[in-house]
Amino acid sequence: MREYSIAAIPADGIGPEVIAAGQTVLASLEMRLGDVKFTFENFNWGSDYYRKHGVMMPSDGLEQLKKFDAIYFGAVGAPNVPDHVTLWGLRLPICQSFDQYANVRPTKILPGITSPLRNCGAGDLDWVIVRENSEGEYSGHGGRAHRGLPEEVGTEVAIFTRVGVTRIMRYAFRLAQSRPRKLLTVVTKSNAQRHGMVMWDEIACEVAEQFPAVTWDKMLVDAMTVRMTLKPRSLDTIVATNLHADILSDLAGALAGSLGVAPTANIDPERRFPSMFEPIHGSAFDIAGKGIANPVAAFWTAAQMLDHLGEREGSSRLMRAVERVTGAGILTPDVGGSATTLDVTEAVCDALHSSN
Ligand code: ATP
Ligand code: MG
């Protein structure tokens, strides 16, 4: 029996709904496979915890998480708590302390889901966006001077290091090399930002030399949004900074039909610490508590988690089950259906049991 201990942090809004759904399908998969066991410990951290304790997680929170094989995360953000408090109080400390420097965001149009792109259907947009997840624009450096005065200045400093850029570039080239098309696009904004972004371009050229099998090109981030929309098939693996990839992956999620189907993995490739798996979407309070949150992103990221844990068969079984369900038109309202979170979850469990 292969056993994995997983820390679940459902947190805010629809987070608890989709994480519970994910735990249900993983339990089903466990029964189907018979030789794997997932043991979950749930942590009630997040905005409710913040209202009670003034912090998003306890001071030894990171220490508590260290012993797990993986972290399964819902979403943070609540209407009455500032976004930077929720983000910096829980999600970012985990990513940064556990050096989850590679944020991996696959995009594909799933069967049965309609893309806003004309002439694109199931199986199209087979992209993986690799987001630098440890530095750059989200380093937290900067400040405010002369607060409230007419001469007030606010700075937000993006910090890029040779170590940081080289390791994400290597990760992206390696990933591109492992995919059938061996195609990588490196995204920067090196025409307008002439320091760190030019360094990104230079390091891309250096790393590329170690991966002669990979065909790669460079794009400016503004032009990249156009290419993703008008020439989606010309792309495969994409690497970009923390901020740029954050924006591009929301676009990618929308082009694949909904944020509700977009997963992400925060990976520590060196496996010193647990990696964290979460849907791209946030807490979506507009639909929280209504039972209609799309759980597909949470299922897909659970498949990413299985992959990372070395459970390849379980991962592909789970994705096949998800695709059978979306293909059969069992869809939540965000992707044009009328099914509930529970309907989709039960259908995926059934598909897991009836598959061979
Ligand atoms: P946050 O502030 O935490 O990012 P948000 O309110 O900005 O949350 P997002 O989750 O980023 O909301 O998503 C934007 C919108 O997309 C939501 O308001 C919701 O209507 C829709 N959406 C996002 N995720 C899902 C989902 N899993 N199922 C259905 N609709 C979703
Ligand atoms: Mg949002």
176 or 356, greater pLDDT: 176
Q: What is the pLDDT of residue 56?
A: 94
Residue 349 has, within 13 A of its CA and on its CB side, a CA count of 17
- 188 pLDDT above the threshold of 70: yes
* Strand ranges of the sheet holding 36-42, from the earlier edge strand across to the other edge: 36-42, 2-11, 70-75, 275-279, 263-267, 102-107, 127-132, 237-240, 183-188, 215-220
In terms of DSSP bridges, do strands 102-107 and 70-75 run parallel, antiparallel, or are they unpaired? unpaired
Question: Nearest 5°: CA angle at 86, between 4 and 271?
Answer: 30
Minimal CA–CA distance to 22: which of 75, 88, 90?
75
Q: With a 6 A CB cut-off, is 90 part of the ligand 1 pocket?
A: no
Q: With a 6 A CB cut-off, is 337 part of the ligand 1 pocket?
A: no
Q: What is the percentage of the chain residues whose pLDDT exceeds 90? A: 92
Alpha helix (H) residue ranges in the chain: 15-33, 47-53, 61-65, 83-86, 92-97, 162-178, 196-208, 221-230, 242-255, 296-308, 312-327, 341-354
Taking the centre of ligand 2 as the mean of its atom positions, its distance from the CA of residue 163, in whole angstroms, is 30
Going from the C-alpha of 224 to that of each of 186, 238, 239, 240, 327, the distances in angstroms are: 10, 10, 11, 11, 30
- 355 pLDDT above the threshold of 80: no
Taking the centre of ligand 2 as the mean of its atom positions, its distance from the CA of residue 80, in whole angstroms, is 15
Question: Which residue has the least CA distance to atom 14 on ligand 1?
Answer: 284
Taking the centre of ligand 2 as the mean of its atom positions, its distance from the CA of residue 30, in whole angstroms, is 32
In single-letter form, the type of residue at position 51 comes to R
ipTM over 0.90: yes
Taking the centre of ligand 1 as the mean of its atom positions, its distance from the CA of residue 283, in whole angstroms, is 6
Question: Nearest 5°: CA angle at 230, between 226 and 231?
Answer: 105
Q: With a 6 A CB cut-off, is 294 part of the ligand 1 pocket?
A: yes
Band (81; pLDDT cuts 50, 70, 90) = confident
- 35 pLDDT above the threshold of 90: yes
Taking the centre of ligand 2 as the mean of its atom positions, its distance from the CA of residue 284, in whole angstroms, is 7
pLDDT digits (tens, 9 = 90+) for 252-276: 999 999 989 999 999 999 999 999 9
Q: With a 6 A CB cut-off, is 75 part of the ligand 1 pocket?
A: yes
Q: With a 6 A CB cut-off, is 285 part of the ligand 1 pocket?
A: yes
User: Quick one: tokens of 227?
Assistant: 């290419």
Q: What is the pLDDT of residue 31?
A: 94
User: How far apart are the two ends of the chain, measured CA to CA in Å?
Assistant: 20
Ligand in nearest proximity to the CA of 297: 1
- 356 pLDDT above the threshold of 70: no
pLDDT digits (tens, 9 = 90+) for 320-346: 999 999 999 999 999 999 999 999 999
User: Quick one: tokens of 45?
Assistant: 């951290």
Tell me how far apart the alpha carbons of residues 332 and 297 are, in angstroms, rounded to a whole number.
12
- Average per-residue pLDDT in the chain? 95
pLDDT digits (tens, 9 = 90+) for 189-233: 999 999 999 999 999 999 999 999 999 999 999 999 999 999 999
Tell me how far apart the alpha carbons of residues 281 and 15 are, in angstroms, rounded to a whole number.
9
| Beta-carbon count within 10 A of 215 CB | 14
* 8 A C-beta contact, residue 164 and residue 101: yes
Residue 329, sorted as left (phi over 0), alpha (psi -120 to 50) or beta, turns out to be left
Q: What is the pLDDT of residue 28?
A: 97
